[in-house]
Amino acid sequence: MIGLFDSGIGGLTVVRELLRQAPDASFVYLGDTARTPYGNKSPETVIRYALEDAEFLLKHGATSIVIACNSASAVATEALRRAHLSIPIFEVITPAVEAVCRLNVGRVGVIGTRATIASRAYESRLRERGIEVIAKACPLFVPLVEEGWLTDVETKRIVKHYLSSIRQAQVDAMILGCTHYPLLSEIIQRFMGKQVRLIDSGAMVVGELLRHVSQDGARSQRFFLTDLSARSEEIAAQWLARPVHFEKADI
Ligand code: DGL
């Protein structure tokens, strides 16, 4: 059984891709909505939360873990791997970097939370591969997504505020380095122009995941949140194009 976690509903962008490629996959999803966002918190705090999230998933039958959150992938992957030596742990940054390298492009934008951008996890790996990087933290995007403000005029204004410098730099591609951001991809794409390839960091990990984990046992698909709200079920149902029932997680 695959365990996935994020600070909130953003990791559902990974679940969507998982369901597209393997509709009968068994998984347990945890969104830590009670403590979201992670991206504005210190690495120590994000590591502590990530360890607790993984513990919860393992207690609920997970035999592999997907860190469906860039912020936690950037700062907590090592700690998680050290704490769970026998469990395969997948992070979302390396597959996104590899996807960009396959595009053979020269200049790339990277957007993410403050934690992800400050870690320079994308920047340093892309620069090592000879790619020019323009990175930008977009801390207001996560609360906008959690609120379901996906196409509002205020959201468009904030997109313009954050992304103008990257647009001016005329990048060839841009990494959506936060699993919440694909929910805003429509307005981001419109603002950046259709010549800019958007890379969904969450979606890229699924191919690697399915190559490494085998699925056995009866199909089970459970969704947990640490704080329940009707709004989350609405957004999740819209995003996954099916009804989603969230159970309350106590961690
Ligand atoms: N979806 C997350 C990420 O990919 C978490 C964002 C946050 O909680 O700040 O970084």
pLDDT single digits (tens) 147-172: 889 999 999 999 999 999 999 999 99
Summary mean pLDDT of the chain: 95
Of 178, 196, 204, 225, which residue is the catalytic one? 178
Tens-place pLDDT, residues 68-111: 999 999 999 999 999 999 999 999 999 999 999 999 999 999 99
Q: Are 155 and 184 in contact (CB under 8 A)?
A: yes
> Ligand 1 pocket: which of 35, 116, 146, 180 to mutate (most atoms <8 Å of CB)?
180
Q: Supply the pLDDT for residue 116.
A: 96
Give me the helices (H) in 60-195, please. 70-83, 93-103, 114-119, 121-128, 141-146, 153-168, 185-192
Residues 6+ apart with CB under 8 A from 132: 106, 107, 108
Alpha carbons within 13 angstroms on the beta-carbon side of residue 115 total: 23
Residue 48 CB-density burial (10 A; 0-12 exposed, 13-18 middle, 19+ buried): middle
User: What are the structure tokens assigned to 215, written together?
Assistant: 């699925």
| Annotation marks residue 178 as catalytic | yes
Ligand 1 centroid to 6 CA: how many Å? Answer: 7
Ligand 1 centroid to 7 CA: how many Å? Answer: 6
Residues 6+ apart with CB under 8 A from 108: 100, 126, 131, 132, 133, 134, 171, 172, 173, 174, 175
pTM, two decimal places: 0.94
Confidence of residue 7 (pLDDT cuts 50, 70, 90): very high
Helix or strand (DSSP H, E) at 64: strand 64-67
Of 28, 67, 69, 121, which residue is the catalytic one? 69
| Distance separating alpha carbons of residues 5 and 77, to the nearest angstrom | 12
Confidence of residue 126 (pLDDT cuts 50, 70, 90): very high
| Distance separating alpha carbons of residues 100 and 126, to the nearest angstrom | 8
Q: Supply the pLDDT for residue 147.
A: 85
Measured from CB, residues less than 6 Å from any atom of ligand 1 are: 6-7, 10, 36-39, 69-71, 113, 116, 142, 178-180
Return the ligand 1 atom nearest residue 7 CA.
8
Ligand 1 centroid to 217 CA: how many Å? Answer: 31
